[in-house]
């Protein structure tokens, strides 16, 4: 195998109204009354509408920012295109809460449509194993000591390092946006999350002392400059406190 590339991934979903009936299927909150329901559907009940990917080379240089199946809202096409990419490239995955949400959702939805997802089982389940950051860096897991402390959201962690966090849209608004035909708005929102996840990851590598400070600044600056012309990245870049993020001064 040659040098590994990196794929920063995030998904956007809406409830599968054909399968999911909240009164029947919503999980109950622990310690609450029997009739109290979680507002968030279980993984199998999420229909994937967007998969955003920022693909980086072995040197962390930007290869591509985009959305899988970007010409279609059809979930089977999105999942087939994703599987084609992952089965061919086998990149290191970088996610935020991907091991607990994004990956199992994509696997369960692939099962719903009968779409092979060999990537999910590749190398003895390497992407799914909890302590294999050389294969899948789940930043939510890493930064919460694998659930031993309260998990932070991407919005909060991004703001800690000078990134803007959520703006313009959040996950609760995705279904309404899809229903009114604003899928491009959802794709830009998803890609903005992917971009911020990538920059959080670079700061995480600095935290781990896996990347010297001067290399971090060089790579982060190069990634910023490569993305600046992308519509989904422009507002993230404009809203970021770069002196704070790059630790200037």
Residue 32 domain flag? yes
46 close to 12: Cβ distance less than 8 angstroms? no
**Strand residue runs (E) in the chain:** 6-15, 46-56, 62-68, 92-95, 136-138
Rounded-to-10 torsion of CA 93, 97, 99, 103: -70
- Sign of the C-alpha dihedral computed for residues 6, 129, 31 and 15 taken in this order: positive
Write the pLDDT tens digit of every residue in 12-64: 999 998 998 887 877 666 555 444 445 688 999 999 999 999 999 999 999 99
Cα distance between residue 211 and residue 137, in whole Å? 15
Structural domain containing residue 206: 6-245
Q: The whole model's pTM is what?
A: 0.92
> What residues have CB less than 8 Å from 5, skipping those under 6 apart?
55, 56, 57, 58, 63, 89, 91, 92
Residue 119 domain flag? yes
Residue 153 domain flag? yes
Q: Which is more confidently placed, 30 or 245?
A: 245
Residue 140 domain flag? yes
CATH number assigned to the domain comprising residue 140: 3.30.420.10
Write the pLDDT tens digit of every residue in 98-123: 999 999 999 999 999 999 999 999 99
C-alpha atoms less than 13 angstroms from C-alpha of 51 in its C-beta half-sphere:
30
Domain count, the chain: 1
User: What is the rounded end-to-end Cα distance, in angstroms, of the chain?
Assistant: 41
Cα distance between residue 160 and residue 204, in whole Å? 12
Residue 29: its pLDDT value, please?
Answer: 61
Query: What's the token pair of residue 108?
Result: 């369960």
Query: ∠241-246-249 over CA atoms, to 5°?
Result: 90
Write the pLDDT tens digit of every residue in 191-215: 999 999 999 999 999 999 999 999 9
Residue 145: its pLDDT value, please?
Answer: 87
Residue 92 domain flag? yes
Residue 1 domain flag? no
Residue 1: its pLDDT value, please?
Answer: 54
């Amino acid at each position: 195998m040659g040098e590994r590339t990196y794929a920063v991934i995030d998904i956007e979903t809406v409830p599968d109204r054909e399968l999911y009936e909240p009164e029947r299927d919503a999980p109950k909150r622990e310690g609450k009354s029997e009739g109290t329901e979680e507002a968030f559907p279980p993984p199998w009940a999420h229909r994937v509408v967007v998969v955003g990917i920022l693909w980086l080379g072995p040197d962390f240089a930007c290869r591509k920012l985009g959305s899988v199946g970007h010409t279609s809202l059809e979930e089977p096409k999105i999942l087939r295109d994703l599987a084609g990419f992952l089965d061919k490239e086998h990149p290191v995955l970088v996610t935020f809460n991907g091991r607990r949400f994004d990956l199992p959702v994509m696997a369960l939805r692939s099962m719903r449509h009968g779409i092979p997802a060999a990537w999910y089982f590749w190398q003895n389940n390497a992407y799914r194993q909890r302590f294999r950051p050389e294969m899948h860096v789940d930043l939510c897991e890493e930064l919460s000591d694998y659930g031993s402390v309260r998990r932070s959201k991407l919005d909060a962690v991004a703001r800690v390092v000078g990134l803007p966090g959520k703006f313009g849209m959040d996950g609760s608004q995705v279904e309404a946006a899809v229903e009114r035909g604003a899928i491009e708005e959802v794709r830009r929102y998803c890609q903005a999350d992917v971009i911020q996840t990538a920059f959080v990851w670079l700061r995480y590598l600095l935290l781990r002392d896996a990347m010297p400070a001067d290399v971090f600044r060089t790579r982060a600056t190069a990634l910023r400059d490569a993305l600046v012309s992308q519509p989904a990245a422009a507002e993230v870049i404009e809203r970021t406190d770069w002196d704070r993020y790059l630790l200037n001064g």
